[in-house]
Amino acid sequence: MSEAKLTILGCGSAKPTKTTSPSGQLVEMCDKSFLVDCGEGVLLTMQKLGVHTSRLYNIFISHLHGDHCFGLIGLLTTLGMLKRTQPMHIYAQPDLEKLLQPLLDYHANDRQYDIIFHHINPRKHEVIYEDRTVSVETIPLKHGVPTCGFLFKETHRVKHEDGSFTHETRKRYAYYADTQYSEKIVPIIEGVDTLYHESTFLQTDEERSKVVKHSTAAEAAQIAKMAKVCKLILGHYSARVEDHSLFLQEAKPIFENTYLAEENLVFDL
Ligand SMILES: [Zn+2]
Ligand SMILES: [Zn+2]
Q: Are 170 and 156 spatial neighbours (Cβ–Cβ below 8 Å)?
A: yes
| Per-residue pLDDT tens digits for 105-147 | 999 999 999 999 999 999 999 999 999 999 999 999 999 999 9
Question: Distance from the CA of 103 to the center of ligand 2, in angstroms?
Answer: 22
Which of these ranges, 15-19, 77-81, 146-150, 249-253, has the smallest mean pLDDT?
15-19
Residue type, 125: H
Residues with catalytic roles: 67
Give the pLDDT of residue 15: 84
Mean of per-residue pLDDT scores for the chain: 95
Give the pLDDT of residue 168: 85
Share of the chain above pLDDT 90, in %: 88
Q: Is the pLDDT of residue 156 over 90?
A: no
**Average pLDDT of span 206-217:** 92
Give the pLDDT of residue 215: 96
SS (H, E, C) the chain: CCCCEEEEEECECCCCCCCCCCCEEEEEECCEEEEEEECCCHHHHHHHHCCCHHHEEEEECCCCCHHHHCCHHHHHHHHHHCCCCCCEEEEECCHHHHHHHHHHHHHCCCCCCCEEEEECCCCCCCEEEECCCEEEEEEECCCCCCCEEEEEEEEEEEECCCCCEEEEEEEEEEEECCCCCCHHHHHHHCCCCEEEEECCECHHHHHHHHHCCCCEHHHHHHHHHHHCCCEEEEECECCCCCCCHHHHHHHCCCCCCEEECCCCCEEEC
Q: Are 199 and 220 spatial neighbours (Cβ–Cβ below 8 Å)?
A: yes
More reliable by pLDDT, 160 or 216 = 216
Report the CATH fold assignment for 5-268: Metallo-beta-lactamase; Chain A (3.60.15)
Question: Distance from the CA of 6 to the center of ligand 1, in angstroms?
Answer: 19
Q: Is the pLDDT of residue 39 over 70?
A: yes
| Per-residue pLDDT tens digits for 79-97 | 999 999 999 999 999 999 9
Question: Distance from the CA of 144 to the center of ligand 2, in angstroms?
Answer: 7
Crossing angle of the two packed helices 95-107 and 72-81, in degrees rounded to 10: 40
Q: Is the pLDDT of residue 251 over 90?
A: yes
For the CA of 179, the nearest ligand: 2
Q: Is the pLDDT of residue 148 over 90?
A: yes
| Per-residue pLDDT tens digits for 9-37 | 999 998 888 889 999 999 999 999 999 99
Smallest Cα–Cα separation from 68: which of 131, 5, 144, 123? Answer: 144
Question: Distance from the CA of 101 to the center of ligand 2, in angstroms?
Answer: 21
Residues surrounding ion ligand 2 at CB below 5 Å: 65, 178
| Per-residue pLDDT tens digits for 44-63 | 999 999 999 999 999 999 99
Q: Is the pLDDT of residue 2 over 80?
A: no
Question: Distance from the CA of 74 to the center of ligand 1, in angstroms?
Answer: 18
For the CA of 236, the nearest ligand: 1
Give the pLDDT of residue 3: 87
For the CA of 200, the nearest ligand: 1
Give the pLDDT of residue 183: 93
pLDDT confidence bin for 1, thresholds 50/70/90: low
Give the pLDDT of residue 124: 96
Give the pLDDT of residue 14: 85
Question: Distance from the CA of 156 to the center of ligand 1, in angstroms?
Answer: 33
Cα 222–chain centre separation: 20
- Rounded to whole angstroms, the Cα distance separating 93 from 90 reads 10
For the CA of 141, the nearest ligand: 2
Q: Are 208 and 174 spatial neighbours (Cβ–Cβ below 8 Å)?
A: no
The radius of gyration of the chain from alpha carbons, rounded to an integer in Å, stands at 18
Q: Is the pLDDT of residue 231 over 70?
A: yes
